[in-house]
Amino acid sequence: MSVPNPSVKVSCRGLWKIFGPRPELARERAEEGLDKAQILETTGHVIAVRDVSFHVEEGEIFVVMGLSGSGKSTLIRCICRLVEPTYGQILVDGQDVTAMDEGRLRELRRHRMSMVFQHFGLFPHRRVIDNVAFGLEIRGMAKEERYRRAREVLELVGLQGWELYYPQELSGGMQQRVGLARALAVDPAIMLFDEPFSALDPLIRREMQDELLKLQQVMHKTLIFITHDFLEAVKLGDRIAVMRDGELVQVGTPEEIVAHPVDEYVQAFTVDAPRAKVLDVASVMHPAAESGLPSNPAPYTVAPHTKLEKAIPLLVQEGRPLLVVNEQEHPVGYVDWKAVLTALGGA
């Protein structure tokens, strides 16, 4: 029996979601090598999530992205069992969510896990403060105490002074902030986001992304974020999982996925990525052990985690390769124009 890793907050193991009366038949066909379309044609079943395994570290922003119909929203709903998984395990702090009875599952949702939806999900007949305090009301918290907590989180998301308004009196971005505040009010360790910003205008969407990153610096929650927008995934994610037809195609850091897409499907997402902002020096440098070191490097050095957008001006200024040094100031490689241009060209 393996010992649980205390740094892993959420873990999915061999997770399947199959819609139809005979899921075992569809699974057999999948294990024989048939794809999603062939299984639908031959069995009438839809495989929404297909043998998915991954883990999310405590305090990590883990982004799941893919095209419409890839299974990403079904996956996140399986994690909190809004959709019942067909096969596999979901572990939260080492506890199997798929084995929980209704009472334990209710406690998980009330105290340890919150979800933010795409279309806000606010109660139109309730004021902002009552929407935010709803989860605390369900817990049985006294009115004065839950209002105090609701005001705290409304201030945190920049909505102080809007407590007594109704959702329809707020803009779309403000309504999404109310939804975020409601999720934060119960102080969950894990937050699930199902394309929460996709219905917003581009400018408001960027503001909400910035707001979430700013809040995460304070909250240090474990976040699982669903999106179909690769630029959003790159901006927010510590790691990204790319889905296609219910399967995970690639899991890695934004740098790994942009620099080394595993196939044409993943590569298509990376075409418009701001590569200089995403890629760091470590992902493109010539390692010292393989290439040696240049004889006349620039007087400036860079750390492996330095983004290319900061290294490029130094290359322009000096016209010579830059040494890459570790925390002990030991050279671990170098970066030159050939490496940079190859990376920026997507080669």
**Per-residue model confidence (pLDDT) at position 121:** 82
Answer yes or no: is pLDDT of 347 > 80.
no
**Per-residue model confidence (pLDDT) at position 151:** 97
**Nearest Cα to 157, choosing from 190, 189, 131, 138?**
131
Task: For 337, list phi and psi in degrees, rounded to 5.
Answer: -65, -35
Q: Domains of the chain, with CATH numbers?
A: 8-112+188-273 (3.40.50.300), 277-344 (3.10.580.10)
**pLDDT tens-digit readout, 5-37:** 668 999 999 999 999 999 999 999 999 999 999
CA distance 219 to 196: 18
**Per-residue model confidence (pLDDT) at position 2:** 40
Confidence of residue 295 (pLDDT cuts 50, 70, 90): confident
Q: What is the pTM of this model?
A: 0.89
**Per-residue model confidence (pLDDT) at position 346:** 60
**Per-residue model confidence (pLDDT) at position 230:** 95
Segment 40-64 shows an average pLDDT of: 97
How many contiguous H segments (helices) and E segments (strands) does the chain have? 16, 14
**Per-residue model confidence (pLDDT) at position 291:** 77
Averaged pLDDT score across all residues of the chain: 93
Residues in a beta bridge with 192? 115, 224
